[in-house]
């Protein structure tokens, strides 16, 4: 396995970063998770747009131009002979001193890792996941601008710990006002009386690339879609619910906090959206 380490390709064993890197010391940095389907980088431009926007927002200078970054992704994939898999692209503030001042970090540090992906088993897509809601905590999903895909994932990790303790696949995060925001690493959608709903991002949800693809698909397939705030009550009483994310794709939710959602399995609209999503992934993006 070849890792892109700030301009060099090194083996996994040699892929090391400094203990003074502020990505490590403070979670100061940004990242992207991207899928490769049949040699195709799915929605590469959207991922790079989000990365460069996140960088601009936190005043992080990415040392590669947009084109150079895309070339580095393509080359890392090629070197690893990867046709289907997952890319993790990380840009940290880079090495500095122990103070948190980012101006003491002269250069950002770029890492690209490509790996096989351990995703949910296929039956989970038919049967749906069980889920639990996670009540508001100090680090709320809407406390930081949710559009920045930053390395500060402690809140999401705490949510993941709670979902592990509950023995479910993914948890639902509420924002400071109690509205449904997203999962630990997925966006959330519900379907009620044929209408598809997803929370607006200002609620505290990442502007997911898969979320965007599903919004586009709803438009193309003629499903009415509303981006509006909703509560757990709306989730409990929905006909269908599903999560979307780069790793999870489109995965149904069959139960939330012990309430069975719809028929307790992937509903018809969820299933249709997953099928159509799997058709577009191999054609959209960069070869
Ligand atoms: N929300 C959070 C917190 C995430 O980490 C992710 C995954 O990256 C998503 C949503 C889904 O976004 P995407 O579809 O771009 O993977």
pLDDT tens across 53-90, in order?
Answer: 999 999 999 999 999 999 999 999 999 999 999 999 99
Q: How far apart are CA 51 and CA 99, in angstroms?
A: 25
Predicted complex: ipTM over 0.90: yes
Nearest CA owner, ligand 1 atom 12: 208
- 3-state per-residue secondary structure call for 104-142: HCCCCEEEEEEECCCCCCHHHHHHCEEEEEECCCCCCCC
CATH of 122-280, one of 3.40.50.150, 3.30.450.20, 3.20.20.370, 3.20.10.10: 3.20.10.10
| DSSP letter assigned to residue 147 | T
Nearest CA owner, ligand 1 atom 7: 185
Cβ atoms of residues 120 and 248 within 8 Å: yes
Domain boundaries, the chain: 2-115, 122-280
Q: Residue 241 C-alpha to ligand 1 middle, in angstroms?
A: 17
Nearest CA owner, ligand 1 atom 3: 185
Mutate to test the pocket of ligand 1, among 134, 208, 243 (most ligand atoms within 8 A of CB): 208
Sign of CA dihedral 44, 145, 211, 125: positive
Q: How far apart are CA 76 and CA 113, in angstroms?
A: 8
Nearest CA owner, ligand 1 atom 6: 185
| Active-site entry in 56, 147, 149, 160 | 149
| Residue range 189-211, pLDDT digits in tens | 999 999 999 999 999 999 999 99
How many other CB atoms are there within 10 angstroms of residue 221's CB atom?
12
| DSSP letter assigned to residue 95 | B
Q: How far apart are CA 68 and CA 99, in angstroms?
A: 31
Q: Is 12 a catalytic residue?
A: no
Atom of ligand 1 at shortest distance to CA of 205? 1
Asked whether residue 252 carries a pLDDT value surpassing 60, the answer given is yes
Q: What is the pLDDT of residue 138?
A: 57
Beta strands in 135-216 (DSSP E): 170-174, 180-182, 187-192, 195-198
Ligand 1 pocket by Cβ (under 6 Å): 33, 156, 182, 185-187, 206, 208-211, 244-246
pTM: 0.95
Q: Residue 90 C-alpha to ligand 1 middle, in angstroms?
A: 14
CATH 3.30.470.10 for domain 2-115, yes or no, is yes
Q: How far apart are CA 81 and CA 287, in angstroms?
A: 13
| DSSP letter assigned to residue 261 | P
**How is residue 43 written in tokens?**
């929605």
**How is residue 244 written in tokens?**
């979307």
Q: How far apart are CA 132 and CA 136, in angstroms?
A: 13
| Residue range 128-139, pLDDT digits in tens | 999 999 976 656
């Amino acid at each position: 396995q070849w890792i892109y380490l700030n301009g060099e390709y090194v083996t996994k064993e040699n892929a090391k970063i400094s203990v003074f890197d502020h990505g490590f010391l403070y979670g100061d940095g940004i990242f992207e998770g991207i899928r490769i389907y049949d040699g195709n980088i799915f929605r590469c431009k959207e991922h790079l747009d989000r990365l460069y926007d996140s960088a601009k927002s936190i005043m992080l200078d990415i040392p590669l131009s947009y084109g150079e970054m895309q070339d580095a992704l393509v080359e890392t994939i090629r070197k690893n002979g990867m046709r289907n898999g997952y890319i993790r692209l990380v840009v940290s503030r880079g090495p500095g001193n122990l103070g948190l001042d980012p101006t003491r970090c002269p250069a950002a540090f770029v890492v690209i890792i490509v790996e096989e992906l351990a995703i949910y088993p296929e039956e989970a897509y038919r049967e749906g996941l069980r889920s639990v809601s996670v009540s508001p905590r100090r680090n709320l999903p809407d406390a930081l601008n949710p559009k920045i895909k930053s390395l500060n994932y402690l809140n999401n990790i705490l949510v993941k710990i709670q979902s592990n303790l509950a023995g479910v696949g993914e948890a639902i995060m509420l924002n400071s006002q109690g509205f449904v925001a997203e999962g630990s690493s997925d966006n959330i959608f519900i379907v009620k009386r044929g209408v598809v709903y997803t929370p607006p991002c200002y609620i505290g949800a990442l502007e997911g690339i898969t979320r965007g693809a599903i919004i586009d698909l709803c438009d193309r397939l003629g499903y009415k879609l509303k981006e509006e705030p909703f509560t757990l009550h709306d989730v409990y009483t929905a006909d269908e619910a599903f999560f979307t994310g780069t790793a999870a794709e489109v995965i149904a939710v069959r139960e939330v906090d012990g309430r069975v959602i719809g028929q307790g399995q992937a509903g018809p609209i969820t299933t249709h959206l997953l099928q159509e999503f799997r058709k577009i992934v191999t054609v959209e993006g960069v070869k």
